[in-house]
Amino acid sequence: MLGGPGDDGDAGRQRRREGLGRIAGWLAAGLVWSIAVGAVFLALGVDLLAFVAGVGFLGVAIVTAAQNPLKDMVAGIMIVADDHIAPGDRVRIDDLEGTVERIDLRATHLRAEDGTPWFVFNSSIDRIAVLKRREGPAPPD
């Protein structure tokens, strides 16, 4: 194995690039929005130091209340970055078996053979068995 465990060549690298590209896009959009909001507040004459301090305090309260969604997001980033699974793969996640339709920051979307859609929160995934890797280009989002 040239690339080490879990490396399936060009297809695996392409999947990682696509997944990490989506994550980078989300982070860039968040940064742009933050700068835009700061510019608007400066134009309105709002004291940004006081605003940031207040937002920091509010942020602690929100993060404390939003622990599960944050766990899902971190787990989603790790699933994409580590290339555990990708859209089109046939997998077994815990006791569910199906084809991965989509992986987003909060959940992995599977479709069972009988057509049943499954929505699995990323932080609740304990075990993943990749039964068959998809071949070819990534399916459209």
Structure tokens of 121? 């929160």
pLDDT tens-digit series, residues 105-116: 889 999 999 999
Structure tokens of 140? 């459209």
pLDDT tens-digit series, residues 63-107: 788 888 888 888 888 888 888 888 999 999 988 999 999 988 889
**Whole-structure pTM value:** 0.56
Domains of the chain: 7-134 (2.30.30.60)
pLDDT tens-digit series, residues 121-137: 999 998 899 999 877 65
Percent of the chain clearing pLDDT 70 (strictly above): 88
The pLDDT mean for the chain works out to: 83
Question: For residue 1, what pLDDT is reported?
Answer: 34
Give a three-class secondary structure readout of the chain. Answer: CCCCCCCCCHHHHHHHHHHHHHHHHHHHHHHHHHHHHHHHHHHHCCCHHHHHHHHHHHHHHHHHHCHHHHHHHHHHHHHHHCCCCCCCCEEEECCEEEEEEEECCCEEEEECCCCCEEEEEHHHCCCEEEEECCCCCCCCC
Q: How far apart are CA 91 and CA 130, in angstroms?
A: 5
| Orientation of helix 48-65 relative to helix 10-44, angle to 10° | 130
